[in-house]
């Protein structure tokens, strides 16, 4: 709750930026993993919306200590290997309050890489472990500009860590993007839900 002192004058400069997707979210598709090698969205990404949000709900891996990642295809493309430049950093805090910090992660950023872009790290397959968050893809149908993306995820890591990951960047193509794939760095997506929204 925000507290404003009496007598303070407020000037309206528009909505505050909370760092999360804003606007009306129109649910377009829902996919639920069940020992799935990948989750693919191969329809519905078009010029209807200026941006698309993918919400990750309790993503749980079959394999221990893995990364959840994504890649895209340009229209007519295949292989999920578009060129990405990105930046990556994380904040971490342990349950017993013994360790906390923030760091830039050079192992998960990309400089014109074509492999899958990690959205987190250290995701365990313990029964109570999972990851939740979102990825926003901006103007994927543009044939003028590169395609920016922003993501924020939180992972429960082994031995009681909260890992907050921010992976942001751009897909370096002026071709329209119409397909996206999510997968683990190793093994299947054991369970979890991904919802795709158009932002109006």
Domain-located, residue 142: yes
Q: Which residue range forms the structural domain that includes residue 113?
A: 25-199
pTM for this predicted structure: 0.88
Here the CATH number for the domain that contains residue 128 is 2.60.120
* pLDDT band per the 50, 70, 90 thresholds, residue 37: very high
> What does the pLDDT look like over 167-176, one tens digit per residue?
999 999 999 9
Parallel, antiparallel or unpaired: strands 161-171 and 84-94: antiparallel
Report the number of distinct structural domains present in the chain: 1
Which carries the bigger pLDDT value, residue 7 or residue 52? Answer: 52
Q: Give the separation between CA 13 and CA 119, rounded to whole angstroms.
A: 33
């Amino acid at each position: 709750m925000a507290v404003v002192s009496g007598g303070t004058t407020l000037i309206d400069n528009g909505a505050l930026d909370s760092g999360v997707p804003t606007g009306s979210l129109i649910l377009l598709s829902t996919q639920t993993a069940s020992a799935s090698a990948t989750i693919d969205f191969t329809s519905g990404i078009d010029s209807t919306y200026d941006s698309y949000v993918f919400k990750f709900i309790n993503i749980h891996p079959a394999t221990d200590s893995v990364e959840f990642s994504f890649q895209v295809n340009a229209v007519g493309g295949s292989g999920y290997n578009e060129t990405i430049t990105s930046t990556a950093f994380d904040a971490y805090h342990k349950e017993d309050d013994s360790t906390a910090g923030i760091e830039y992660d050079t192992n998960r950023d990309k400089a014109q890489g074509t492999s899958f872009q990690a959205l987190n790290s250290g995701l365990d397959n313990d029964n109570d472990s999972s990851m939740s968050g979102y990825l926003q893809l901006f103007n994927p149908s543009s044939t003028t500009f590169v395609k920016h993306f922003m993501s924020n995820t939180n992972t429960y890591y082994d031995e009681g860590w909260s890992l907050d990951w921010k992976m942001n960047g751009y897909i370096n193509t002026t071709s329209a993007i119409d397909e996206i794939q999510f997968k683990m760095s190793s093994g299947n997506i054991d369970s979890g839900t991904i919802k795709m929204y158009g932002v109006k």
